[in-house]
């Protein structure tokens, strides 16, 4: 097994922060490695070193002569106005037919392949970048948080790609489910040291916890022995008859050394509001329609959520998950039907627009004090702040200087100071590292109230959800099965579509209608293509409106105006996603697409 790249004795630091400290590791061909570590540990810096974009202060990087690196960029490498096909040909140097063939593996066709790449959502642009990687035929992929902002279906599509990719990969990710599915080894970066574990992420986490516990037990035994020897030495070294024994014990004491166990890094310790359990329905949706004044997202929704349930809202991007959550909490009025909450339901909401519109002049402490119940003491406020890693001088930080992750933690802390018996959470794991997400899921498992949430983190969803509501094809209803069954169904759909592509379109009939059998329903191509053109026109208009609103949002200074613009952008994105999904469905029925 050839070593593709080897790092030896690497040192790298920024100011007083040491990222690499005499670190060494070897990456071999055909092995996929999950790269883990705390936020800020230096994972992205190491990738830049491997890409020769940064240099080590000490040490060396040895590369195999045949090494070909493919890097999934987090930034957009596209030129203004170019199509996905233009970019693929430019970036890979491959002909158009080859780019189209490989793009099919990521369902890139029709407008998604030939239309302006700037019109595509972040998830579809990631598919384009992955196609380009495959076209370059690398033997080592470097992927930096590849699942960011991807819906579950696209995440699974990426997993399928990686399982078929018969070369090496180094994947930085906080998504445990994704790493478990794709990587056979785990590389950990902690306190400047690189440790390669020859097993999957879940096995590594168990090993890591067991090793830490073992080292602590060994140290406890050594410390007890040290105390015993020291006691003997102190008692006997002054007496002539026992002085030689004391000196012997002293030499034994010098040889006894504890194992160096690094102090635990600060980890959020989240505790959900303490509430009394309740029985019966928490909320009923009766013939509810959701959407916006000029766009209906879904209708005929009849769902009843019981107190104490943890309900996961699932569905592809653009289907209406966030719209449903916003309708539940009345930040968006239903287009029809009735949303009826039970008596004494106190609802706490966590959503992107909440931590995106905080008062930037407030300090952390002032914000938490404003969210706390009237009888909350200063000490209780400080204790909750500390549990979310706002300690000492950090509570006096202004909101304006907080990172996205810190703002997200601050909003969580605000929820904890309330007495909410209903929590509605829209993507609570965004901007949080894996340890904080794990602490949040632990807290929600202990929570005795009702939780309604959506997330792209499959480990988080599978661990928490007791009921599944799927938003799909213009409606929403309880899914008959658990979250694992839902993921299995998506995998099956993707497998079937890939098998259909592998089998080809088959022979076209005499009318050019594709590979339909004689008893298949005949497609009205004229009507289909008319609707496709109408959708393309709508998508262009919606995208133009979105660009204009985003520009206004960037220039807005008034918090209320910024919040209104943010909500308008979200509404447009939902409408745009639904239109794109409909376009894709129709284009698959067009034999000439």
Average of per-residue pLDDT across 124-138? 86
pTM: 0.66
Phi-psi region at 313: left, alpha or beta (left = phi > 0; alpha = psi -120 to 50) = beta
What is the Cα gyration radius of the chain? 28
Domain residue extents for the chain:
3-204, 281-487, 526-593
1 to 22, 62, 187, 336, 515: CA distances (angstroms): 25, 16, 18, 63, 45
Answer whether residue 557 shows pLDDT above 70.
Answer: no
In this predicted model, which residue has the larger pLDDT, 113 or 147?
113
Structure tokens at 518: 């004689």
d(C-alpha 13, C-alpha 50), whole Å: 16
The CATH code belonging to domain 3-204 is 3.40.50.300
For the chain, the residue count is 593
Residue 119 near residue 81 (C-beta atoms within 8 A): no
In this predicted model, which residue has the larger pLDDT, 266 or 23?
23
Residue-wise pLDDT for 263-303, tens only, equals 555 666 777 888 899 999 999 999 999 998 888 999 999 99
Structure tokens at 406: 């810190």
Q: At what angle do helices 378-387 and 364-371 cross, to 10 degrees?
A: 120
Average of per-residue pLDDT across 567-582? 74
Residue 474, C-beta contacts closer than 8 angstroms, at least 6 positions apart: 296, 297, 298, 299
Average of per-residue pLDDT across 376-395? 83
Mean pLDDT of the chain: 83
Q: Per-residue confidence at 338, pLDDT binned at 50, 70, 90?
A: very high
Query: Which of 312-321, 502-511, 548-557 has the least mean pLDDT?
Result: 502-511
Of 168, 208, 169, 206, give the one whose Cα is nearest residue 188: 208
* Composition of the chain by helix, strand, coil, percent to 5: 45, 20, 35
The CATH code belonging to domain 281-487 is 3.40.50.300
Residue-wise pLDDT for 232-247, tens only, equals 888 888 887 888 888 8
- Give yes or no on whether 3-204 and 281-487 have one common fold: yes
Average of per-residue pLDDT across 170-197? 90
Answer whether residue 510 shows pLDDT above 70.
Answer: no
In this predicted model, which residue has the larger pLDDT, 509 or 569?
569
As a whole-number percent, the residues of the chain with pLDDT over 90 amount to: 25
E strand or H helix at 383: helix 378-387
Residue-wise pLDDT for 431-449, tens only, equals 676 777 888 899 899 999 9
Q: Per-residue confidence at 353, pLDDT binned at 50, 70, 90?
A: low
What is the distance of C-alpha 544 from the center of its chain? 28
């Amino acid at each position: 097994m050839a070593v593709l790249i080897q790092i030896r004795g690497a040192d790298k630091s920024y100011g007083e922060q040491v990222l690499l400290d005499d670190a060494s590791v070897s990456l071999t061909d055909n092995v996929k490695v999950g790269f883990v570590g705390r936020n800020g540990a230096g994972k992205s810096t190491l990738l830049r070193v491997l890409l020769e974009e940064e240099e080590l202060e000490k040490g060396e990087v040895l590369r195999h002569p045949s090494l070909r690196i493919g890097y999934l960029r987090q930034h957009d490498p596209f030129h203004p106005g170019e199509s996905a096909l233009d970019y693929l040909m430019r970036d890979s140097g491959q002909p158009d037919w080859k780019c189209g063939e490989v793009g099919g593996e990521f369902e890139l066709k029709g407008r998604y392949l030939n239309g302006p790449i700037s019109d595509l959502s972040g998830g579809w642009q990631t598919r384009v970048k992955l196609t380009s990687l495959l076209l370059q035929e690398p033997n080592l992929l470097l992927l930096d948080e590849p699942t960011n902002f991807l819906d579950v279906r696209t995440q699974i599509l990426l997993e399928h790609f990686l399982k078929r990719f018969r070369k090496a990969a180094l994947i930085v990710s906080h998504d445990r489910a994704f790493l478990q599915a794709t990587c056979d080894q785990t590389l950990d970066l902690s306190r400047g040291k690189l440790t390669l574990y020859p097993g999957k992420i879940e096995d590594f986490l168990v090993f890591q916890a067991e090793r830490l516990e073992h080292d602590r037990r060994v140290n406890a035994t050594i410390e007890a022995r040290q105390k015993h020897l020291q006691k003997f030495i102190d008692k006997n070294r002054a007496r002539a008859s026992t002085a030689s024994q004391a000196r012997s014990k002293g030499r034994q004491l010098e040889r006894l050394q504890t194992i160096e166990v690094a102090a635990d890094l600060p980890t959020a310790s989240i505790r959900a509001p303490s509430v009394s359990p309740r029985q019966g329905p928490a909320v009923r949706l009766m013939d509810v329609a959701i959407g916006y004044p000029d766009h209906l997202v879904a209708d005929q929704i009849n769902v009843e959520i019981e107190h104490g349930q943890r309900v996961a809202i699932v569905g592809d991007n653009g289907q209406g998950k966030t719209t449903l959550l916003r309708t539940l909490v009345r930040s968006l009025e239903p287009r029809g039907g009735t949303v009826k909450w039970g008596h004494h339901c106190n609802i706490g909401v966590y959503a992107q627009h909440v931590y995106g519109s905080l008062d930037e002049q407030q300090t952390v402490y002032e914000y938490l004090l404003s969210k706390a119940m009237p009888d909350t003491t200063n000490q209780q406020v400080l204790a909750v702040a500390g549990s979310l890693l706002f300690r000492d001088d950090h509570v006096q930080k202004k909101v304006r200087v907080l990172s996205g992750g810190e703002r997200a933690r601050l909003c969580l802390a605000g929820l904890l100071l309330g007495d909410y018996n209903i929590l509605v959470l829209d993507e609570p794991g965004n901007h949080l590292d894996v340890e904080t997400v794990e602490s949040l899921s632990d807290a929600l498992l202990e929570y005795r109230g009702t939780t309604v949430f959506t997330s792209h983190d499959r480990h988080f969803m599978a661990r928490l959800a007791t009921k599944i509501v799927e938003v799909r094809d213009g409606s929403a209803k309880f899914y008959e099965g658990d979250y694992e069954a839902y993921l299995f169904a998506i995998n099956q759909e993707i497998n079937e579509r890939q098998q259909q592509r592998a089998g080809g379109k088959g022979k076209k009939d005499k009318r050019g209608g594709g590979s339909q059998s004689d008893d298949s329903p005949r497609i009205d191509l004229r009507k289909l293509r008319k609707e496709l053109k109408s959708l393309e026109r709508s998508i262009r208009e919606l995208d133009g409106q979105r660009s204009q609103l985003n520009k206004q949002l960037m220039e807005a200074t008034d918090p209320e105006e910024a919040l209104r613009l943010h909500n308008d952008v979200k509404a447009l994105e939902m409408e745009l996603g639904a239109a794109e999904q409909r376009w894709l469905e129709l284009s698959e029925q067009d034999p000439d697409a």
